[in-house]
């Protein structure tokens, strides 16, 4: 794709976009956002610095997990306060908590006490029985505006085991020699099911650009488990799914919370194209170490509460000078929304376009 060099005329605001964190300006881009996204991910040729506001999330109600988690984003109105919660695709009961705008599994009655029982206990969803045709029809307008779309899978691999066993049972199952073979067998079937779900997505919603998959691996201070455990117990099954996603010409974006710096090599081995973690990670260091192998979300580093618009512009210039490299693209994580002030975003767009135009 040939993109003209930066012109100050691009700074004209041609539209506003509503996001989860407020409105953002849409400039007179030199190409479509979808073209810029494909150039970033598939060619590693960024056009401007992406901040996460370029995409929209698709989480259709056809997937019971989305209703259970209170996170439905499709063409039908959804009120999580009245519709959120209930049973996910495995029949696990979730309760929507209004105060935190999310759901949790009702504790105390795990569906599985021992992973060796999964074949006897679990009833697997019939993916073909979901009303895909109807969902495809009423969701056609969702894709009509040309904005790149991320299809969201909220319960990933370890998170799925947590939902079935609660956290203590799940973490033990990964390291218990008496349960590890059963975990491998379960994740083999689970990854096959995810491939089947994503194959349906590709057929019924072919405009999906990115598959955005959750699997939290850490807390505030450290990862839940060693890299060796992840490498043995989780990476092979993720890789099966990311290989399928790539075979369909789509992008695999990983969401994982917590301080999980030591797990980045496992993300790379699992085939993820990008990861934008939380700010307790040293994202600048991770960019230096791994940014040529995975697109890292790098946080701006300044106190937005004690800054003027001009100082925010200066911080954007510093960020662009350090991280807006054509040979090593990165993202600004969406969770950095507080720092993404109008002044910062405007200057970051300008400076990144200048850098990427060279």
More confident residue, 52 or 352: 352
| pLDDT tens digits for range 245-277 | 999 999 999 999 999 999 999 999 999 999 999
pLDDT of residue 203: 98
Backbone angles phi, psi at 27, to 5 degrees: -90, 175
pLDDT of residue 23: 78
pLDDT of residue 25: 86
Beta strands in 72-143 (DSSP E): 86-87, 93-97, 102-105
CB contact at 8 A, 324 and 296: no
The C-alpha atoms of residue 263 and residue 328 are separated, in whole angstroms, by 20
More confident residue, 334 or 231: 231
| pLDDT tens digits for range 142-165 | 999 889 999 999 999 999 999 999
pLDDT of residue 20: 67
CB contact at 8 A, 52 and 333: yes
128 pLDDT more than 90: yes
The C-alpha atoms of residue 124 and residue 76 are separated, in whole angstroms, by 26
Ordered by start, the domain boundaries in the chain are 57-141+150-202+209-246
Select from 80, 74, 228 the least CA-distant residue to 138.
Answer: 74
19 pLDDT more than 90: no
Structure tokens at 193: 């099911």
Q: What is the mean pLDDT of residues 32-44?
A: 94
Structure tokens at 184: 């491998």
The C-alpha atoms of residue 266 and residue 271 are separated, in whole angstroms, by 9
Q: What is the mean pLDDT of residues 82-104?
A: 94
Structure tokens at 205: 């919603």
Parallel/antiparallel/unpaired status of strands 13-19 and 251-255: unpaired
- The angle formed by the CA atoms of residues 353, 331 and 32, to the nearest 5 degrees, is 50
Structure tokens at 311: 């100082």
- The angle formed by the CA atoms of residues 214, 217 and 223, to the nearest 5 degrees, is 160
pLDDT of residue 21: 67
- Is 211 strand, coil or helix? strand
pLDDT of residue 277: 94
| pLDDT tens digits for range 189-239 | 999 999 999 999 999 999 999 999 999 999 999 999 999 999 999 999 999
């Amino acid at each position: 794709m040939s993109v003209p060099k930066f012109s100050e005329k691009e700074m004209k605001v041609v539209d506003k976009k509503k996001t989860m964190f407020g409105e953002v300006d849409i400039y007179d881009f030199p190409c479509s956002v979808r073209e810029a996204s494909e150039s970033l991910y598939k060619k590693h040729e960024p056009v401007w610095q992406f901040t996460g506001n370029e995409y929209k999330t698709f989480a259709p109600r056809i997937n019971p997990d989305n209703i259970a988690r209170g996170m439905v984003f499709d063409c039908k109105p959804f009120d999580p306060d009245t519709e959120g919660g209930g049973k996910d695709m495995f029949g696990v009961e979730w309760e929507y908590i209004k105060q935190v705008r999310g759901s949790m599994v009702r504790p105390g009655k795990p569906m599985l006490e021992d992973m060796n029982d999964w074949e006897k206990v679990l009833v697997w969803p019939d993916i073909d029985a979901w009303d895909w045709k109807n969902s495809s029809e009423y969701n056609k307008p969702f894709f009509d505006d040309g904005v790149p779309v991320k299809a969201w899978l909220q319960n990933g691999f370890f998170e799925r085991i947590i939902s079935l066993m609660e956290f203590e049972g799940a973490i033990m199952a990964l390291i218990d020699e008496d349960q590890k073979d059963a975990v491998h067998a379960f994740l083999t079937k689970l990854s096959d099911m995810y491939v089947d779900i994503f194959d349906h997505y590709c057929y019924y919603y072919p405009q999906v650009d990115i598959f955005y998959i959750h699997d939290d691996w850490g807390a505030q201070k450290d990862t839940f488990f060693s890299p060796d455990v992840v490498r043995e117990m989780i990476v092979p099954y993720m890789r099966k799914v990311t290989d399928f996603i790539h075979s369909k010409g789509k992008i695999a974006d990983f969401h994982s919370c917590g301080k999980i710096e030591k797990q980045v090599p496992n993300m790379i081995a699992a085939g993820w194209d990008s990861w934008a973690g939380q700010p307790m990670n040293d994202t600048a260091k991770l960019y230096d170490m791994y940014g040529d192998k995975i697109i890292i979300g790098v946080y701006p580093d300044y106190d937005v509460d004690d800054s003027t618009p001009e100082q925010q512009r200066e911080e954007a210039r510093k960020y662009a000078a350090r991280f807006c490299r054509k040979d090593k693209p990165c993202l600004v994580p969406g969770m950095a929304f507080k720092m993404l002030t109008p002044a910062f975003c405007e200057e970051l767009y300008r400076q990144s376009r200048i850098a990427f135009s060279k």
